[in-house]
Amino acid sequence: MRLSIQNTPFSPAAELEGFATGHRETGAEVSFTGRVRDDTGALQALEIEHYPGMTEAAISAIMAEAATRWQLLDCLVIHRFGRLAPGAPIMMVATAARHRAEAFAAAEYLMDYLKSRAPFWKREITAEGAQWVGAKASDEDALTRW
């Protein structure tokens, strides 16, 4: 299990090197990378603010809960903060389990909870100025399925 909250860039491929190694019973590995999306072509940067201390505590609790619901052999969460360029990886999760159903479900659970229970706030920077990204009701609704 590994969690990193960082303001430096990361390479999703490099982070998966060594993930879940040492667990011969691993039969399934799922990874997801979230990138800075530019819907209009006008995005200059995405700024991410977070709550140091609570961020680590909240995500650790989410990871621990995932590990009790599914038999995870390994679990990884990386989330950036600071100023990011369009296309840059914002965050990634990876899960390893014996079978794919568990690995997929745990990865989706981690993503759903990271969206609305980890204290990050995004602000889009364009030539017109800066705009805070609002939370979506659908993100909150997604938690009800768990």
Binding interface with other proteins (CB under 8 A): 34, 49, 51, 53-54, 57-58, 79, 90-91, 111, 114-123, 132-135, 140
Nearer to other proteins, 66 or 114 (CB): 114
* Alpha carbon of residue 95 to chain centroid: 12
Three-state secondary structure string covering 22-63: CCCCCCEEEEEEEECCCCCCCCCEEEEEECCCHHHHHHHHHH
Nearer to other proteins, 3 or 27 (CB): 3
Do residues 40 and 86 lie in contact, with contact meaning Cβ atoms separated by under 8 Å? no
For the CB of residue 25, give the shortest distance to other proteins in the complex, in Å.
29
Q: Which is nearer to other proteins, 102 or 108 (by Cβ)?
A: 108
**What distance lies between CA 7 and its chain's CA centroid?**
14
State in angstroms the smallest separation of the CB of 83 from other proteins: 15
Taking the least distance from each CB to other proteins, the nearer of 98 and 105 is 105
Nearest distance from C-beta of residue 72 to other proteins, angstroms: 19
Give the torsion sign (CA, 109, 77, 28, 72). Answer: negative
